[in-house]
Chains A and B, each alone.
Chain A
Amino acid sequence: MDPMAQSLITVDALSVEYWTRKGKIRAVEDVSFALEKAETLGVVGESGSGKSTLGLSLIGLGPFPGRIVKGKITLKGKEILKLRKEDMRNLRGKEICYVFQDPMTSLNPVKKIGPHFVELIRTHDPKVTEEEALKRAKKLLKDVGIQPERINDYPHQLSGGMRQRVMIALAITLNPSIVVADEPTTALDVIVQAKILDLLNVLRDAYGMALILITHDLSIVLERSDEILVMYAGHVVEHSSSKDIYSNPQHPYTKGLLKSIPNIELAEQKLEAIAGSPPDLLNLPRGCRFWPRCYYVMERCRQEAPPLMNTGAEHFTRCFLYKEGKKL
């Protein structure tokens, strides 16, 4: 993972802060990764881990009062944090797109499905006529498995799964090179969830997009992504290929998560809970952010924060149990 190579997108030491009345919160701290064409990166973490803030920062929509205080995002060689607002708006939709969690609220309820597409297409290219845009919309709907006639429906006439399909169709309308899907299936039933995730995979392969899949569900990212970032309280605590995370999890948090999710393919399984609960970001523990819940906690962990270390081929872990290169 040479960050300087020609990756599709490179995120380098990104930190995002929220300035609230109660104090400053570092929601994302020092996150780096690179992603290639047609790859899927899974970002997994609990509520408050910073995974959505990270996703929104990638499309330049870091939510108010959040601000990016440090770091670099390079998309196809362009540093997007330095772009003017207008240029960023051009990029958004064309190069990088976002699929939000809640398909119920992300479509305009007083607009039919068709005009959603027309607006998007004509904003980016005013030369396209309305008829042409509608024609393209129909084809896109067909691609995501919705009958083209539904273009004249209002969002409330569609089921949750269909709305999420429309959102995905909108996301791929301008053929972006990256789609960020933030909990795309959390509001959906399990069968619909499987279909939507299958659809994202098919589109990824067909259009050669890169996919960033943000979710709290470790099962989904293990099954669907090439690489995984495990986030905890704003930090990346482990970063590796999903095969490695599964067969050789290193960080105690990742290990705990793996032990606490049920796997229906195992005949007998004893689930183990992770003690305690995630920290308050305004009141972070000194040292490692995970130590109050950690089974292996050592004296050193309470004093200093471990850095993200390269602990194996393409494997990064933020834990003192490991040393650069090997386990202690």
Chain B
Amino acid sequence: MLPIQRREKTVSQNDILKVEDLKKYFPVEKSFLEKMLTRSRSYVKAVDNVSFSVRKGEVFTLAGESGCGKTTTGRLIVRLIPPTSGKIFFENVEITALKGEALRVLKRRIQIIFQDPYASLNPRMKIGDAVGHPLEIHGLARNEEKRKRVLQILEHVGLTPSEKFVDLYPHQLSGGQRQRAAMARSLVLQPEFIVADEPVSMIDVSLRTAIIDLMLNLRKEFGLTYLFITHDLAIAKYISDRIAIMYLGKIVELGDKQTIFSNPMHPYTQALLSAIPVPNPERKRKTAELIGDVPSAINIPPGCRFRTRCEYAEEACKEKEPELIPVSPDHYVACDLAEK
């Protein structure tokens, strides 16, 4: 168990991860002159008050456009970057400020798969060494034992014959095979929770399905829970149990996938869904009108942050920021108009 004191139970029994009011502000670098002239600092509010929980064994998806904060949220959860404020609980234990050995043990249990399999594998390390490296770092296995575990995990992710793949370098692998190797490297530590950050967006279309199916099979085999991060709602619909839609650093709607797709209530979710291409030439498309572009995350509009692009925006939307409130069991929307 993690060597830190237990906090009181804030997580319900089947939640594996809980995030509370998480914030990440990146300071904007200023020139010397600007620093002298102005006192105030400005920040990119990448993640701005995000709360959600992930149930054991589910695929929870964070979806949204570029710049919405989905990747930053993922990185905060695996403790790659420290949050500005807020709390993260993993299996009832607060992990926000873990250090040293405790953090190392945590990282064994929470792993991440990155988007770009061309950049996430060291080009000068053989696949076998890359996959075995985490075992050495965590002092779990060496030499023969390590080799055995590496071969085993390569079989699991479909890199067969595994004896051949251990001696290959990343450039000898296709994109899909590299992503499998990256998955093997995460899985070799037998984690319970995996943050998958756009794992298929850089992979050829005909190979994507195989990777997604592999992820779903591994979930069963290893009892994994996924936080899946994607911009592609069609894939999100296929893989997820529950989906949270993010806009400018905030969750605007959260619900199980049937609800999100059949009864989207936030105007942003509606626009996002209407923009997805559907592989059917007979279908007449009607894309919802969205005004302009996403505002900068440095100057987030006060009140509802979506109101500048919303066709239903009213005076009241300028006044106060809507909170993420339940409209039905397990369906949360951050829009004051959706309630009506």
Contact = CB atoms under 8 A, between A and B. Distances in A.
A246 B281 contact: yes
Chain B, interface size: which category? 35 or more
5 contacts: A191-B272, A257-B206, A260-B205, A272-B209, A274-B209
Interface of B: 65-66, 174, 176-177, 204-210, 212-213, 231-235, 237-238, 261, 271-283, 285, 287, 290, 293-294
Contact of A269 (B238, B283, B285, B294): B238
Given A223-B285, A271-B213, A218 B279 contact: yes
Would you list the 4 A-B pairs with minimal beta carbon distance, nearest first?
A: A273-B210, A194-B275, A273-B209, A219-B277
A46 B209 CA distance: 14
A223 B234 contact: no
A261 B205 contact: yes
Contacts of B205: 46, 216-218, 257, 260-261
Interface string A291-321: 0010000000000000000000000000000
Contacts, number: 126
B209 A191 contact: no
Q: Which of A197, A242, A243, A273 has the most CB of B within 10 A?
A: A273
Contacts of A216: 204-205
Given A263-B278, A273-B206, 20 more contacts: A189-B231, A190-B65, A190-B231, A191-B287, A194-B274, A194-B287, A198-B285, A216-B205, A219-B276, A222-B277, A222-B279, A223-B277, A242-B281, A257-B205, A260-B209, A264-B273, A265-B278, A273-B208, A277-B204, A277-B207
B273 A265 contact: no
Contacts of A272: 209
Nearest to A145: B292
Nearest to B214: A273
A283 B234 CA distance: 34
A272 B282 CA distance: 23
Nearest to A242: B281
Given A159-B293, A189-B65, A264 B281 contact: no
Nearest to A265: B278
A246 B294 CA distance: 34
A79 to B, nearest CB: 33
Interface in A177-212: 189-195, 197-198
A258 interface: yes
A54 B273 CA distance: 33
Given A159-B293, A189-B66, A190-B275, A222 B234 contact: no
B232 to A, nearest CB: 8
A263 B174 contact: no
Given A260-B208, A265-B283, A271-B212, A217 B271 contact: no
A287 interface: no
Contacts of A193: 275, 277
Nearest to B273: A264
Contact of A277 (B176, B234, B273, B277): B176
A162 interface: yes
Interface in A151-197: 159, 161-162, 189-195, 197
A273 B213 CA distance: 8
Nearest to B65: A189
A149 B213 CA distance: 49
A258 B277 CA distance: 13
A260 B203 CA distance: 13
B267 to A, nearest CB: 12
B206 A260 contact: yes
Contacts of A47: 204
A278 interface: yes
A262 interface: yes
Contacts of B208: 260, 273
Nearest to B176: A277
Contacts of B177: 277
Given A271-B213, A273-B207, A219 B234 contact: yes
A272 B233 CA distance: 18
A8 interface: no
Contacts of A189: 65-66, 231
A58 to B, nearest CB: 23
A8 B277 CA distance: 28
Contacts of B281: 222-223, 242-243, 246
Nearest to A160: B66
A46 B204 contact: yes
A220 interface: yes
Contacts of A277: 174, 176-177, 204, 206-207
Nearest to B213: A273
A160 B271 CA distance: 19
A263 B280 contact: yes
A223 B231 contact: no
Contact of A256 (B206, B233, B261): B206
Nearest to B67: A189
Interface in A267-281: 269, 271-275, 277-278
Contact of B238 (A159, A195, A262, A265): A262
Contacts of B213: 271, 273
A242 B177 CA distance: 32
Nearest to B68: A189
Interface in A37-74: 46-47
